[in-house]
Chain A
Amino acid sequence: MRGHELLDKMEMIDPVYVEAASVFPPKKQNGLLKRCAALAACLVLLLSAGFGTYAYAAEAKEYRAAVQFFEDYDLSMQGLTRYEIRMVYRDITSKSFSYSKTAEVFINSISSGTVEGCEILLDNPTSKDIAAFWEYYHEKIILDASTQSYYRIQNEYVRDEGYDYREFKGSYLEKYEGKNIVWRSATVSDFSIRHYHVVSDGVIAYGGPPPLSPGKLDAYASIVKFDKNGRIVWEKRLTHGFEEEYITEIVENADGSYAVFSRGDSKYFCLSQYSALGEEIHFRKTEIGDIGFDQVVPFDGGYIVECKYADSIMKVDYEGNILASFSYESEDEQYLITDMVVLNGQIYLSTYATRKDQNAPKYLYELSYVHHYAAELYRNEGVLISNEELTPMIRDVYTAVLLVCDLRTGKVDEFYSVPGAHEGKLSINSAGNLIWRVENIMSARHTPTRSFASFYIMCSVWQYTFDQTGALIGQKKTDEVTSFDR
């Protein structure tokens, strides 16, 4: 059978479907909209309520109570056996939080609600805009390279001639201003630095075994504190008894101590508190299952931790107890959290939304169908998809969304969305206003000969300012340009 025959056979489409499609739907209104009919947030844990420990002799009675409890607090029973429901119920009400399924319940618990928000529309870039943008971009790269201050991680290896093997010698940081090196830190020799943060009195860096060493990549985790001139102040290796442990984030507390967030044996959420002098003063681990976590922001009472690839965040106290977990998801979109800020009793989550694709792994292939479309065009007709056709397709995939959530309940109070924009970054300016810098997609190129990505996407950054009540009070296009690959 050929295409024209199948086109003819389409006449056999059920009359019900034909009738349903005979009239186009009424037009949607732009501007204020109810975007997320099912945008969900849920409070899954209420420690302050003071639950007692329930001990029912009869299993059935306990099960009924557990089900009622799940219903009362809108917890998800999805995928749980009767036994597991009872165990989670016991785990929560006894405040022990040691049962592995409890965290899964937190993450899976979603309640529906309608949230109102505001769509901030930006005009699609014209060809003139894009030409001006590229010209500016090339100048900008040269300009930035001469003025920026930044750090660079360096790993040193020595070659063993006899075995032709590169042996790790050490790891250090370099600080640059423009092209000039300001200082080179002392070398740490027993671990490889992977990340660093600039803190009030220097730089704190962390990592694990060097990449080329034999054994497990995350066999241990280490921290080194450098002063402002790159000298080592202290160095520690985490010793929590795990076969594998890696540090996901370090946050400087207000008193100069450090909260070290790590993951043990791929199932434990760990929080260690280190004094400013590098002494471990507290440690707590909680089994949460196979949930990774990423960035952390402090608030008055603890920390907000982003659960990686789970559209969710956890509220954690200073001791490392998980107080609550909130999930954010809509019926047909997924939200990837890119930045967080806690301000005036609200959590601001900068996310970008992409349509859910049941045929593709979450987040990994958000452009999978555009990839297929472009690849097919290239394969069948031997032509690259043009920038003019590709750019609106990619703009169509992404929407930057700022979720404004209540710190106590996690409920989304409102949102702001910018169609055609990728991720955003949050900060607070000197006047105490919230700044949301959003990457507006300007131009995309198909580059199939590159080995690591197929699309090179350029963005201009727009800045939105919100006052202390959370009201949008300004927007402007900045001089900043960014890019990302997919």
Chain B
Amino acid sequence: MEDERIVELFLARDEAAISQAAEKYGKRLRSLSYGIVSDMQTAEECENDTYLEAWNAIPPHEPRTYLYAFLARITRHISLNCCRDRHRLKRDAQICELSAEMEQCIPHPNDAECLMDEILLGDAINKFLGVLDEQKRNIFVRRYWYLDSIADIAKGFGLSEAKVKITLFRCRNRLRDFLEKEGYNV
């Protein structure tokens, strides 16, 4: 079924919306969640929670042209929280690693105040991604949105792990410089 039609079902409060969304995107969402939580049962729970969240969020949202991204964002958010709440040691270590990498992008990480609101930060990140070439952008998104491991990204793009590491290192530096240059106080 077309995304637009599925969204119409959500808007009409038709529970078929959930089964249609699950049929079309369930596997991908479960896979995304599994990549974060590393446990299939938990991933299935996160997937189910995603449909519930989507049910509550549509309306007011109407993601007719970006339904997968909309659902995936919810899955990512739930999976990350789930991972932190349950303190899964292995996955927690990766989240810590990713958090440390993200910290390198923050011009002044020790500032107590967070002066930049979410919308501005989102705009800034997307503006930055807009200037990257396609491969670098996709590698960045796979790492920090999908939370993939370096090894998986390298395999997926047919690159060496060294190249992926260097690419991410460059991207983080560029993002930090970008935020600083643009005057964002994160």
Contact = CB atoms under 8 A, between A and B. Distances in A.
Interface of A: 1-22, 24-25, 27-28, 359, 369-370, 372-373, 389, 392-393, 395-396
B99 interface: yes
The 8 residue pairs across chains A and B that have the minimum distance between CB atoms: A15-B69, A3-B103, A12-B122, A24-B156, A15-B66, A3-B99, A21-B141, A4-B99
Given A7-B98, A12-B125, A21-B146, A27 B158 contact: yes
A7 B166 contact: no
B99 A19 contact: no
B160 interface: yes
B170 interface: yes
Contact of B105 (A6, A20, A359, A395): A6
A396 B169 CA distance: 15
B159 to A, nearest CB: 9
Contact of B100 (A3, A17, A25, A389): A3
A372 B169 contact: yes
A12 B70 CA distance: 10
B134 interface: yes
Nearest to B100: A3
B114 to A, nearest CB: 5
Of residues A20, A22, A369, which shows the largest number of chain B Cβ atoms within 10 Å of its Cβ? A22
B141 to A, nearest CB: 4
A452 B29 CA distance: 52
A19 B66 contact: yes
B126 A22 contact: no
Nearest to B169: A373
B121 interface: yes
Contacts of B141: 13, 17-18, 20-21
Contact of A4 (B95, B134, B165): B95
A222 to B, nearest CB: 46
A15 B74 CA distance: 12
Interface string B91-134: 00001101111111110010100101010011001100100001
A25 B153 CA distance: 11
Given A13-B126, A18-B141, A7 B109 contact: no
B138 A392 contact: no
A236 B135 CA distance: 57
Contacts of A28: 158
B145 A13 contact: yes
**Interface of chain B, main secondary structure:** helix
B184 to A, nearest CB: 10
A3 B103 CA distance: 4
B157 A11 contact: no
B24 interface: no
Contacts of B163: 396
A113 B115 CA distance: 50
A292 B137 CA distance: 37
Given A9-B118, A15-B66, A18-B69, A2 B166 contact: no
A176 to B, nearest CB: 41
Nearest to A390: B162
A372 B134 CA distance: 24
A307 to B, nearest CB: 28
Contacts of A372: 169, 173
A17 B126 contact: yes
10 contacts: A1-B109, A2-B106, A3-B99, A9-B125, A11-B77, A17-B126, A20-B137, A22-B28, A373-B166, A396-B166
B27 to A, nearest CB: 12
A372 B76 CA distance: 31
A419 to B, nearest CB: 10
Contacts of A7: 80, 95, 98-99, 102, 144
A38 to B, nearest CB: 14
A12 B169 CA distance: 21
Contact of B102 (A3, A11, A27): A3
A11 B66 contact: no
Contacts of A17: 126, 129, 137-138, 141, 145
A10 B162 contact: no
B25 to A, nearest CB: 10
A21 B169 CA distance: 19
Interface string B141-161: 110111000000000111011
Contacts of B105: 6
A369 B72 CA distance: 33
A259 to B, nearest CB: 43
Of residues B70, B141, B144, B169, which shows the largest number of chain A Cβ atoms within 10 Å of its Cβ? B141
Contacts of A11: 73, 76-77, 145
B5 to A, nearest CB: 18
Nearest to A389: B162
B55 interface: no
Contacts of A395: 162
B121 A12 contact: yes
Contacts of A19: 66, 68-69
Contacts of B125: 9-10, 12-13
Nearest to B70: A15
A3 B109 contact: yes
Contacts of B28: 22
B134 A16 contact: no
B151 to A, nearest CB: 13
Nearest to A27: B158
B156 A14 contact: no
A18 B72 contact: yes
B186 interface: yes
Nearest to B139: A21
A14 B126 contact: yes
